[in-house]
Amino acid sequence: MDHKIKIRKAVPEDVHIIHQFIKELAEFEKLFDQVKTSRQDLQKVLFGEKSFVEVLIAEYDKLPAGYALFFPNFSTFIGKPGIYLEDLFVKTEYRSKGIGKALMEAVISLAKDRNCGRVEWSVLNWNKSAIDFYIARGAQHLEDWQIFRLTKDKF
């Protein structure tokens, strides 16, 4: 890993950075209008009493450059826990420096340490650079599976 890259676990003081990363990711994905979370929401879910979401922060030359946000899931078929990678984002100006790779490796290392059976995530079908990035790391595209979502207004 590039000695300029540092991956660390997020701390409560990072909430403003994480919130900014989320907004930048949403803008990149053309989904900015869907961002409803606040710093207070993130503080509760990431560092509150019932926290189950984790974040790794990537720094480049000691500056925040990207993040990975993830949480546990479970596979009944393999009978093991897993990790669902909700967000993997590197700021535009820091891309192609190995930061995304370092974040992925850190999440995979945690999965190994926790005896997880797999790491899963979703990627927008138009995001060719992300798809290529994941495939280059050995990820399998599950073409037979489709994502469904039920939102709170439909509960």
The residue from 60, 67, 94, 134 that is catalytic is 134
> Which DSSP letter does residue 48 get?
S
With CA atoms as reference, report the closest residue to 89 among 129, 51, 118. 129
Alpha carbons 77 and 63: distance in angstroms, whole number: 41
Residue type, 105: E
Helix segments in 11-155, DSSP class H: 15-28, 39-47, 99-113, 128-136
134 is catalytic: yes
With CA atoms as reference, report the closest residue to 88 among 141, 46, 134, 139. 134
Q: Are strands 63-75 and 80-90 parallel, antiparallel or unpaired?
A: antiparallel
Active site residue ranges: 134
